[in-house]
Amino acid sequence: MATETVMLGHGSGGTMMKRIIDEVFFAAYGNDDLLKGDDAAVLPALEAGQRLAYSTDSFVVTPHFFPGGDIGRLAVCGTVNDVATSGATPLYLTCAFILEEGFPLEDLRRICASMASAAKEAGVRIVTGDTKVVNRGHGDGIFINTSGVGTLAPSINLGGAQCRPGDKVLVSGTLGDHGITIMSCREGLNFSTTLESDAAPLNHLIAAVLEAAPAVRCFRDPTRGGLASTLNELASQASVDITVEEEAVPVKSEVLGACEMLGYDVFQVANEGKMVCVVAADQAQAALEAMRRSPYGQDAAIIGEVTEARPERGPKVFLRTAFGSTRILDMLVGEQLPRIC
């Protein structure tokens, strides 16, 4: 292309916009549906009895590139995971870019290549999209919105309200990796081992768990607000208590050390490649083994249990500490780690 940065003309709808679409977006993840160039993708009809699951999310993380991923990988994985938490099979994504004038085209190509790789890993296709360009100084280089569609079998009915006393709570791996990686990049923190974001598509892991343990009540990805906010949401939806065993929760030592140094609660730090699963007690071990067979679930653990809530005080989440005491595990209040996704 004649220029190596984004210009306002790339969002004009004219020849410059056509070039950036052809030479960047189509080159990265062009497929038969996308290459038609229509305003809407016409997709195959559902089989009898199937339902659609649909989700949308926007990604504004800074920095745009970080160990273990970038804003493009987050955009694909985040929406794939949101669709998959319903038990659906994600199939198609839309992708909209808001670009700032002056953003390097080489960075845009790198982000698009990352999105293409993540989409291929998840088994989804990017089938339509949009591009807008804002004036220099009126954005932060790049923002991305992705929406996802998947198909859901008639027999699957998952949700936070399905949680019942006696159910077990599982998490698919170590907590806090993404949030602390982003913060370490911003603050120039160094650790004895390389810390990376956990951004990953978890639809295959979810499908494996559902096959092994049909009595799954729900899945939820503990992104902003971390595990604490996620469990409080589930407890509220089902009007139950949840008790978590602190020693059972997997956390990398360098993440825990960073949280202690910076004053963060690791249970409130964001994750982008972890899944919380609530399942009937008699199928918890089968669900755990299915998670651990996945490359993204090798550190999975059973971390707690759903119990009856006391009517006089409403649903709560409790943490049983390593010292044998119990404290309330509250939702995050305010913004702990800004711009983590």
Stretch 19-33: mean pLDDT, rounded? 87
Last residue of a domain, one of 152, 184, 213: 152
* Domain final residue pick, 152, 176, 206: 152
Domain check: are 100 and 173 in the same one?
A: no
Show which of 126, 152, 178 is a domain's final residue: 152
Together in a domain, 111 and 237: no
Tokens (6 digits) for 109: 């190509």
User: Environment class of residue 196 by beta-carbon count within 10 Å: exposed (0-12), middle (13-18) or buried (19+)?
Assistant: middle
Domain count, the chain: 2
Statement to judge: residues 170 and 311 lie in one domain: yes
Is 339 domain-assigned?
no
Domain co-membership, 46 together with 166: no
Long-range contacts of 8-12 (CB under 8 A, 24+ apart): 8/101, 8/133, 8/135, 9/133, 10/99, 10/131, 10/133, 11/99, 11/131, 11/132, 11/133, 11/134, 12/133
Per-residue pLDDT tens for 30-53? Answer: 888 888 776 667 767 788 788 899
Angle, CA of 106, 8 and 12, to the nearest 5° = 110
pLDDT at position 167, please? Answer: 98
102 within some domain: yes
Is the residue at 235 inside a domain?
A: yes
Give CA–CA dist 56/82, Å, rounded: 8
Span 95-144, pLDDT tens digits: 999 999 999 999 999 999 999 999 999 999 999 999 999 999 998 999 99
CATH number at residue 302: 3.90.650.10
Give yes or no: residues 314 and 199 share one domain: yes
Instruction: Flag whether 333 is in a domain.
Output: no
> What local confidence, expressed as pLDDT, does residue 312 receive?
87
DSSP E strands, 101-153: 125-134, 142-152
Indicate whether 129 and 108 sit together in one domain: yes
pTM equals 0.90
Instruction: Examine residue 2 and state whether it is found in any structural domain, yes or no.
Output: no
pLDDT of the residue at 341: 82
**Distance from C-alpha of 336 to C-alpha of 334, rounded to nearest angstrom:** 6
* 240, 291: one domain: yes
Residue 13 and residue 78 in one domain: yes
175 inside domain: yes
More confident residue, 287 or 50: 287
Residues 106 and 198 in one domain: no
Mean per-residue pLDDT for 58-75? 95
Structure tokens at 74: 């987050």
- Tell me: pLDDT of 3 over 70: no
In a domain? residue 136 = yes
Mark whether 166 and 127 lie in a shared domain: no
Residues 195, 135 share a domain? no
Confidence of residue 16 (pLDDT cuts 50, 70, 90): confident
Residue (of 161, 152, 201, 127) closest to 54 by Cα position: 152
Above 70 in pLDDT, residue 190? Answer: no
The residue that leads in pLDDT, 18 or 179, is 179
Q: For residue 81, give the CATH number of its domain.
A: 3.30.1330.10
* Residue 337 in domain: no
Write out the residue range of the structural domain in which residue 246 sits.
Answer: 160-328
Tokens of 137: 């100084």
Label residue 334 by pLDDT band (50, 70, 90).
low
d(CA 225, CA 228): 7
Per-residue pLDDT, averaged over 158-168, amounts to: 96
Q: Are residues 129 and 259 in the same domain?
A: no
Mean pLDDT to the nearest integer, 274-288: 98
Q: Residue 1: pLDDT above 60? A: no
pLDDT at 38: 66
